[in-house]
Every structure is written in structure tokens, then in C-alpha cells.
């Protein structure tokens, strides 16, 4: 692989552009330190031309969100026959669309929060009375990552603002029953559980600000302070979620450990962040895998999936 020219695909056109730049820069530096030839590429509509002109032989996808994590770039790379890191087209597309991912999770018998899916055209007519589970509720765009556009609604007068925040993004709006509890997240690497971490954000939940702008106020507890039985249970749930979507490489699977002691699956992230605040590097470090080791391991898994 060290004789290959690697393209680090980063940036992109979505709300997670800046985070992707940080992820890509960190990964590129780690691979260069290991002796790989890496070109950083800020993704634009001329990406195919750039890949050809630079002679890119392997693509390391450090893109987050739409048009990068959702199968679009993966499909282009399949057509161009350029091996790439991470999940393939179908797994990427499914995991990025929370509505369709939940259909797969339900078919697999995984524990989920009650929800209501609302089309953009029906948002103006939505009232609290139409929510089968009432308030509090979580309102989120169906096709965004990093908790972009997500709101927790406690009072009826907050619903309209939350819906307006979610409708700025493409796709249906997903409304779920709010489940109080502890945020337990699991890393999966090469179809094996990497580790379990608990996130204790200073804010109400682990939103975009807590993930990337917390300034140290968010607490990360590794290994997660839960019982051995709970660890086994959440690992089984998260590995099953990863496999049900057909994911490859690394993923981060998010759950809530409810006050009733039961786990609820939230989502699977097929290109989790690799910034200083990101969870996968923290989990890997906890079992002795350095950031450079992690970056190299992901690169060596690059392949065509179709």
C-alpha cells in the first residue's frame, strides 16, 4: 500500500464541512508519519477530474454527512474502480437515512425508541396531539449526522421551532420519544467490538456543540462504568446493528441506557469523527491502539465493495 498514491477526501458540501476538514487533516498527518504518500483533497463537484489528474489510487474517505457519508462518493469511486475506506454504497446510504436504518433495525429485532416520521409537506399541520407518545420528544432531520438540526421538545410551544430547525435539511423529519438515560457508545472495527465508552455532556444531550466545541466540559468515561452483563448486552446490540446494515471498516454505534436499565439503539455512524474530541480514537487509545495505528488499519481495509 505504501507505493500507492492515497487521496484523503475531506470537506464536502454539508453542515459537517469543518469537522470533516479536521478529521481529514489528522488522518493525513498520521499516515504521512507512517510513510504513506497522501494528498488532501477538498471535495467539490470536480472530484472525479481531480482524482484522475492527481493519479489517486486509493481513497481514504474522511467526509461526514450528506454527499460523503451517504453512499454518493462511494458509488462514484466504485464506478471509477478506486478502492476506498469504510462502508460500501448500500450500508452508507442506509445508515445515513435514519428512517430507513430503523426499518432495518426493527427487522433485526433491535430495541428502538417509538417514533413518528413526518414528510416535509406535512410539518405545518403537525401538533403535539398527533404525537402517539407525547412529550418530551426528540426532533431530528432524517439525513444529517453529528446531531445537526436535533432538538429536544419539552413543552408544546417549542415544537414549531424544533420542526423549523429540522426542515432546513433534506428528507423527512423523524420525531422520537425522548428517553432519559446515559449515553453509551460502542466502537466497531473490522467486524469486532473495539470498546464501550460513556459520554456525559455538559448540555442536555451530546449535540454538535458538545461533540466539537465543548472546550473540555464533556466527560468521556472509558471503559464505560456499567456492569459486565450490560457491557455484553450493549456490545451484542451494537455489533448486530453494524452487521444488519452491512457496514465495513469502522463504525460508532450510539445507544441510550434508559433509567429502566434497558438499552435503546439510536444510530450507526459509518464515518465517525477522528478529531481530538472524537470517540473512536479515545476508545482505540484505551486498548493500546495509537491514532497512527488506527489510521493505518483503516487504510489497509480499503477495497471496492461492489
Report the side by side order of strands in the sheet with 181-189. 219-221, 192-200, 181-189, 250-258, 263-269
What per-residue confidence (pLDDT) applies to 149?
A: 81
Task: Say which residues have a Cβ less than 8 Å from residue 20's Cβ, sequence separation at least 6.
Answer: 10, 11, 12, 62, 63, 64, 65, 68
What per-residue confidence (pLDDT) applies to 240?
A: 98
Q: Does residue 209 surpass a pLDDT of 70?
A: no
In the chain, what are the domains? 5-86 (3.40.50.20), 95-111+180-289 (3.30.470.20), 115-177 (3.30.1490.20)
Q: Does residue 151 surpass a pLDDT of 60?
A: yes
Cell of 235: 456490545
pLDDT tens across 70-88, in order? Answer: 999 999 999 999 999 999 9
The bridge status of strand 5-11 relative to strand 37-43 is parallel
Q: Does residue 13 surpass a pLDDT of 70?
A: yes
Report the side by side order of strands in the sheet with 173-177. 115-118, 173-177, 137-141, 151-153
292 burial (CB, 10 Å; 0-12 / 13-18 / 19+) is middle
What per-residue confidence (pLDDT) applies to 176?
A: 97
pLDDT above 90 covers a percentage of the chain that reads 85
For residues 77 and 86, the answer to whether their CB atoms sit within 8 Å is no
pLDDT tens across 218-251, in order? Answer: 899 999 999 999 999 999 999 999 999 999 999 9
pTM score: 0.92
Q: Which active-site residues does the annotation give?
A: 16, 146, 212, 252, 254, 267, 269, 273
Amino acid at each position: 500500500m505504501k507505493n500507492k498514491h492515497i487521496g484523503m477526501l475531506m470537506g464536502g458540501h454539508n453542515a459537517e464541512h469543518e469537522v470533516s476538514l479536521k478529521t481529514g487533516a489528522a488522518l493525513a498527518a498520521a499516515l504521512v508519519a507512517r510513510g504513506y504518500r497522501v494528498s488532501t483533497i477538498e471535495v467539490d463537484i470536480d472530484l472525479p477530474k481531480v482524482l484522475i489528474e492527481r493519479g489517486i489510487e486509493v481513497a481514504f474517505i474522511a467526509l461526514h454527512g450528506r454527499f460523503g457519508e451517504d453512499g454518493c462518493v462511494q458509488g462514484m469511486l466504485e464506478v471509477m474502480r478506486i478502492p476506498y475506506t469504510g462502508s460500501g454504497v448500500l450500508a452508507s446510504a442506509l445508515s445515513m437515512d435514519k428512517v430507513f436504518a430503523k426499518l432495518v433495525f426493527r427487522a433485526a429485532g433491535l430495541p428502538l425508541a417509538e417514533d413518528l416520521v413526518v414528510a416535509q409537506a406535512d410539518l405545518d399541520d403537525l401538533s403535539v396531539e398527533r404525537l402517539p407518545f407525547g412529550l418530551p420528544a426528540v426532533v431530528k432531520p432524517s439525513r444529517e449526522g453529528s446531531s445537526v438540526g436535533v432538538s429536544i421538545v419539552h413543552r408544546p410551544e417549542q415544537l414549531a421551532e424544533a420542526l423549523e430547525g429540522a426542515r432546513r435539511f433534506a428528507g423527512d423529519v423523524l420525531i422520537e420519544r425522548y428517553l432519559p438515560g446515559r449515553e453509551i457508545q460502542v466502537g466497531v472495527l473490522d467486524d469486532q467490538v473495539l470498546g464501550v465508552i460513556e459520554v456525559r455532556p455538559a448540555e442536555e444531550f451530546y449535540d454538535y456543540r458538545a461533540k466539537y466545541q465543548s472546550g473540555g466540559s464533556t466527560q468521556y468515561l472509558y471503559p464505560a462504568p456499567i456492569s459486565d452483563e450490560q457491557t455484553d448486552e450493549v456490545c451484542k446490540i451494537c455489533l448486530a446493528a453494524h452487521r444488519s446494515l452491512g457496514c465495513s471498516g469502522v463504525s460508532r454505534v450510539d445507544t441510550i441506557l434508559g433509567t429502566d436499565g434497558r438499552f435503546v439503539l439510536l444510530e450507526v455512524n459509518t464515518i465517525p469523527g477522528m478529531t481530538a474530541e472524537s470517540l473512536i480514537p479515545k476508545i482505540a487509545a484505551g486498548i493500546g491502539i495509537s491514532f497512527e495505528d488506527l489510521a493505518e488499519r483503516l487504510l489497509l481495509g480499503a477495497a471496492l465493495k461492489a
